[in-house]
Amino acid sequence: MTDVPLYAKLGFTDAEWGLIAGLPQSVLTAASAATHDSARKTRAEVAAGLDRISDARASASQLVSAAASAAVVEAGDPELGEEPPVIEPSDPAGYAADVLGRAAEVATLLSIKVSAADAETYKHWLVEIADEVVGAASTGGVLGIGGDTVTENERSFRDDLAKILAG
């Protein structure tokens, strides 16, 4: 007798679950890469995003909790001090466009497969991840003084993600 994976119990295929569970990390990466920062600021953005992903393991939504748990297994658990590698796409704009396309695909999938409440909770969580990442470190300025908390590219990615998910 084999155990049925949780994602199958939730009604998803392996490929669908890979898309759902992988999207939070992809949103984190795209939001961080929207504006090139120093290594220190990029690490701060990644840490903020991973904390938001990790915290969602306690979500009341079984979908979000399961997706967060799967994402933490892949990326590393910040509560255990695990630091995943910082992913810097060679084409940040192209990567962001790909992530937005996958977000639209997930939004459609969720509208078919889960309750409206679970779908909205998951989509809101993705926007929270992006928001946390783009607000984690200011860009520009001198010695941490001045600069933009959220750059135009970061704001654009976050807003595009929110529009696609509101759909």
Question: What pLDDT sits at residue 146?
Answer: 52
Phi/psi at 24 (nearest 5 deg)? Answer: -55, -45
What confidence score (pLDDT) does residue 66 get?
A: 96
Predicted confidence at residue 140, as pLDDT, reads: 53
Buried b (16+ CB within 10 A) or exposed e, 10-28: bebeeebbebbbbbbbbbb
| pTM, to two decimals | 0.88
Residue 167 has what pLDDT?
78
Structure tokens at 4: 């049925």
Identify the pLDDT of residue 25.
95
pLDDT of residue 87: 78
Helix ranges (H only) for the chain are 6-9, 14-33, 39-55, 62-75, 92-113, 116-134, 152-166
pLDDT averaged per 10 residues in sequence order, the chain, 167 residues: 80 95 96 87 89 95 96 77 75 96 98 96 98 79 56 94 94
